[in-house]
Structure 1
Amino acid sequence: MDTNYPFNTAGLCTEEIDRFHDTYNVLKTKFDIALTGHIDFQLENFEVFKHYQGINIRDSYVIKHENNNSYILFIESQLKHHAHGHNGPGYECQTWALAYLKHNFGRVLIRPETLADKIIELIHPVELDFEEDKAFSDTFYVLVNDHYKAVSGIDRNFRNAVMDVREDDFVIEIVEHTLIIGNSKPISPEKAIYLAEFVSRLCTACD
């Protein structure tokens, strides 16, 4: 690790180092962040990472809050159809954010709803909808494995926080008390801020 940078630069090209550094600097100006050291966030429990051959947390940062911390993860993922190489073809550097929630949500997947989702829903209704919040249900596709836990956890405050995420392409997955949010797009300062704002809001207002 290059001590001139607050993240692991091993295997990164100049463009990637610049992107990581810009992202870190933007986060640092808005949030009270610090390197976590090694933490096992148990990412192997999340379905969103199942299509990767390998997931490696290059660096993780804690966003400090009064009662509950959230985290930003710089993740290096390897696609299953590439078996070799480092940061060459098949490797992607991504930003994800993570929060620990007070309520047990069971397993939940939330993502922007597509036209295909709406058509499938007409034939096989599997999605959790909120009759009292049509705007949320029209915007997001919600799959759950425990209806009671999900409805209890996905309350108005939580739904409002999801609606306010400024990133337009993201997935939220919750495994009981642990939430992650992100996508497979390359790391960027703007995206990292949007994700950090969301998990920070959960930790300060929705727990």
Structure 2
Amino acid sequence: MPAELIKIYPENPDERRIRQVVECLKDGGLVIYPTDTVYGLGCDIFNTRAVEKIARIKGIKPQKNDFSFICYDLSHIADYARVGNVAFKMMKRVLPGPYTFILNANNSVPKLLNTNKKTVGIRIPDHNIPREIVKALGNPIVTTSIKDDDEVIEYSTDPELIFEKFQHQVDIVIDGGYGGNIGSTIIKADGDDFEIVREGLGDTSVFL
């Protein structure tokens, strides 16, 4: 059954549409949604079969993934990661925003996502749609970027074209307008030290 393409406006996300997406996630569905950087593909972090489906789409093993979590706010983070005081203050300063923080995972991270890794990526995007989905769901969602096969354009930005490509692989594609084509800045926070893993949309000067 092909996916459904639904329109949600970022400025004022429709509660009924958000509930529709949340019910899909609870049922083990896969959803493509906009963020403050690029479009992402995600599922409920606690649904093992959904995580495995995403891994198959990406052509990777779940245990060797580079998935991150989208959280609603900083209060979610301590549930899944250990954060030092300096790192927490920095995250409070720059989030919500176009950053992924790589943190030491705790025992609450689902085993499928934490078999070979002791870290987890945390995202709090500056975008109402994914944050409202997570808030209504009650726990984070797995997120991974939608990449394009085109050699020139790394990330797909047009939700209708994304729908055409993934409509038989996912359950819902959210049209939240054109996405960006620059990924998040990835920062590894180990204790009180910061390492810039990848420069993306987020300003790195605050970490230097």
Q: TM-score, structure 1 length as denominator?
A: 0.29
Taking CA–CA contacts closer than 8 Å with sequence separation of 6 or more, which of the two structures ends up with the larger relative contact order?
Answer: 2
